[in-house]
Amino acid sequence: MVYLDNSATTPICNKALETLVKYSSENYYNPSAIYLQGVSVNSDIESAKQTITNALGVKYNNNLIFTSGATEANNLAILGAYRKSFKKMLFSVGEHPSVYNVALELKKRGVDVDFVKLQQNGEIDYIDLENKLNKEVSFISIMLVNNETGAINDIHRVFELKNKYCPDAILHSDGVQAFGKIKINLDFLGVDLFTVSAHKIFGPKGIGALFVKNKNLLNPIIFGGGQEYGIRSGTENVGAIMAFKSAVDDFGNIKDNYNHVSKCVDAFLGELKTINCLINSHHSPYVLSLSFCGINGETLVHMMEKRDILISRGSACSSKKSGNRILENMGLTNEQTLGSIRISFSKNTTIEDAIFAGKTLYECYNELKDRLK
Ligand code: PMP
């Protein structure tokens, strides 16, 4: 089987799995316990925070809050930062549902929420952003890498614009599809809040984290025993946290991986030869969005599945909904949106797999075209 849906999730790597087992059986102690074993597990969690923060290119201590995944981290970033005094909140229209739907909910509750448009290449429209920025803006959330298209937003540019028009506004970025794949330096990006998830980088599902530059920015949205600096109560998911650390330790070299994945994309696209398809965007080689006119993307996905290659229609989180908010906002026609598929690679994808998948897609496309004649 060739798995090319790595933006949806990845298999847990051996190191992370071993760690998960170790901290669920041998080292199962509650990190809040005051005896030695508990204290030791607590300090292991601190070291996991350090590893992940370092991988974000910065040297902060105690600035990471573990959550049940990026969905919760995004909810915490927005709802935890929200204050009644907020005048206006800005989001990009291309955000993952765990940001976008929180924005819609706030809007429903009467908050002044606005959305920044996308350009045709999938990046946010910086001119539209600039037009929408003023001193009323209290919060901005714009993702680093889009999960549907791989488009990379220039968050540093967003930060500079924010500083020009509303320096006190809080800047959040969902970094799920960027973490471990492109070089990140949170200080350079200028974000106050940054979201990551383990299961996109060969860690376990159900664990994520929110980086917070200044913990005073956040109020809890989950109340209880006061874990995670009182911001996120609940006994820490120690096994998953430590496995997340192992997955980060196991990244390998980001630049080498990036170059390898870029070669996979080239090899894959090389096999599509004369097919007339629209490459929606592939700034990050890890996510490739293609659109075939006059073809149903879902049919293509199932034809590929029959040939043992797993790809997707788009984000797993929106696969059950009709239409595609991101592609539509990039200006694709209904037909182009209907004919879209997403192929997402990983550092473990081989060139042979990429070539095989490309060849197979070429055959499936032609078969489908013939059937439609
Ligand atoms: N943000 C982005 C950009 C994502 O791709 C995902 C996963 N599809 C999430 C947030 C949600 O992550 P999790 O599954 O950890 O809740």
Quick check: is 317 catalytic? yes
Per-residue pLDDT of 39-57, as tens digits, reads 999 999 999 999 999 999 9
The pTM of the full predicted model, rounded to 2 decimals, is 0.97
Total count of domains within the chain: 2
What is the Å distance from ligand 1's center to 108 Cα? 23
Are residue 284 and residue 234 in the same domain, yes or no?
Answer: no
Q: How many CB atoms lie within 10 A of CB 119?
A: 17
Are residue 87 and residue 233 in the same domain, yes or no?
Answer: yes
Per-residue pLDDT of 253-268, as tens digits, reads 999 999 999 999 999 9
| Cβ(93)–Cβ(117) below 8 Å | yes
Are residue 120 and residue 221 in the same domain, yes or no?
Answer: yes
Report which protein residue has its CA nearest ligand 1's atom 12: 70
Show which of 249, 280, 297 is a domain's final residue: 249
Report which protein residue has its CA nearest ligand 1's atom 8: 8
Are residue 347 and residue 258 in the same domain, yes or no?
Answer: yes
Report which protein residue has its CA nearest ligand 1's atom 7: 8
Are residue 114 and residue 29 in the same domain, yes or no?
Answer: yes
What is the Å distance from ligand 1's center to 71 Cα? 6
- Reported as a pLDDT band with limits 50, 70 and 90, residue 28 is very high
Mean pLDDT of the chain: 96
Q: Report the CATH number that the domain containing residue 320 is assigned in CATH.
A: 3.90.1150.10
What is the Å distance from ligand 1's center to 30 Cα? 27
Are residue 28 and residue 164 in the same domain, yes or no?
Answer: yes
Are residue 211 and residue 276 in the same domain, yes or no?
Answer: no
The three-state DSSP-derived secondary structure of 15-72 is HHHHHHHHHHCCCCCCCCCCCHHHHHHHHHHHHHHHHHHHHCCCCCCCCEEEECCHHH
Are residue 93 and residue 123 in the same domain, yes or no?
Answer: yes
Residue span of the structural domain in which 318 resides? 2-9+253-371
- Reported as a pLDDT band with limits 50, 70 and 90, residue 372 is confident
Amino acid at 197: S
Burial 262-282 (b: 16+ CB within 10 A, else e): eebbebbbebbeebebbebbb
Report which protein residue has its CA nearest ligand 1's atom 10: 70
Are residue 315 and residue 232 in the same domain, yes or no?
Answer: no
Per-residue pLDDT of 300-354, as tens digits, reads 999 999 999 999 997 665 555 667 999 999 999 999 999 999 999 999 999 999 9
What is the Å distance from ligand 1's center to 7 Cα? 9
Q: Tell me the Cα Rg of the chain.
A: 21
User: Could you say which DSSP state residue 83 is in?
Assistant: -
Question: Ligand 1 test: best mutation among 76, 193, 197, most atoms within 8 Å of CB?
Answer: 197
Show which of 219, 249, 279 is a domain's final residue: 249
The three-state DSSP-derived secondary structure of 300-350 is HHHHHHHCCEECECCCHHHCCCCCCHHHHHCCCCHHHHHCEEEEECCCCCC
Show which of 249, 269, 284 is a domain's final residue: 249
* Protein residues with CB under 6 Å of any ligand 1 atom: 69-71, 96, 98, 143, 147, 174, 176-177, 197, 208, 315-317
**Of 13, 166, 277, 317, which one is the catalytic site residue?**
317
Give the mean model confidence (pLDDT) for residues 274-286.
85
